[in-house]
Amino acid sequence: MSILDKIMDSKGIGPRKTVLYGKEGCGKTTWASKWPSPIYIPTENGIDGVRDKEGNLLKVKAFPLCQTLSEYVEYLVAVAQEENEYETVVTDTIDWLQKLVWKEVSNDKKVESIEEIGYAKGYQFAMRYWDQIIDIWDSLISKGKHVLLLSHHAITHIASPEGDPYDAYDIAVHPKTIAPRIRQWANEVLFVHDQVMTKTQQESFDKNKMDKKVAVNSITTLKTVGKPAYHAKNKLGLPESMEFDFETYKQYL
């Protein structure tokens, strides 16, 4: 058998490795509920009592709130290995999952906080756990299930080799270790962006009139291509900016 006989045709669109991040309360959990047959693995309190834009109470299937990293891994493995009807596995959220990872590292090293481990080695120790988690996410993908990771956003400082340093929105996990690893792993990294609309109005201060900009409205969009101001990417040929609505998004799946 020739080595060339191993060459295969590329496959069509398969199960997605998707990261969705944005500020708290922007609708991440509700958006995730529109995916095919989702099962939630919550690492923070945020599923009960959630309502959609129409005011309807969100009804989804979810495991109990994860109190430890072992519980999170146990739930992941169960969905990956046991027969079930779920097609999308939602982690809500990975920044709170990071807290469980750091707690596990602290317990291993018998310290109160991961920061007590010198020379920032604690964050490198944490990557061993993240690699194990990513392996299980990959096993879910191999079983034909979508993996959807929700995250809050953070503002990170970037030292550009081509110019002045600048700030950008990113997923709210450690910016030098797991954040780039997850972005590289994902097919899509999507940023829920609130574009604030302002107007200028005059205000008086000590008999002097001054122009002041005030926020009057905001438009929520889904950013799918990276810019200096935020991280994003996609492999689906999505528009750079689109409506934050799953009915629009699913046309590309």
Residue 155: give its domain's CATH number.
3.40.50
Q: For residue 211, tell me if it sits in a domain.
A: no
Total of domains in the chain = 1
Give me the helix-helix angle, 178-185 and 121-142, nearest 10°: 20
pLDDT digits (tens, 9 = 90+) for 70-104: 999 999 999 999 999 999 999 999 999 999 999 99
pLDDT at 13: 81
| Single pTM value for the model | 0.89
Report the range of poorest mean pLDDT among 11-20, 125-134, 209-218, 233-242: 209-218
Domain of 94?
Answer: 15-188
pLDDT band at 203 (very low <50, low <70, confident <90, very high): low
Q: For residue 2, tell me if it sits in a domain.
A: no
Q: For residue 138, tell me if it sits in a domain.
A: yes
Per DSSP (E only), the strands in the chain are 17-22, 38-42, 61-62, 88-92, 146-158, 166-171, 188-205, 208-223, 241-243
Q: For residue 73, tell me if it sits in a domain.
A: yes
The per-residue b/e assignment along 3-12, b for 16 or more CB within 10 angstroms, e otherwise, is eeeeeeeeee
Whether 6 shows a pLDDT value over 60: the answer reads: yes
Q: For residue 214, tell me if it sits in a domain.
A: no
Q: For residue 50, tell me if it sits in a domain.
A: yes
Q: For residue 208, tell me if it sits in a domain.
A: no
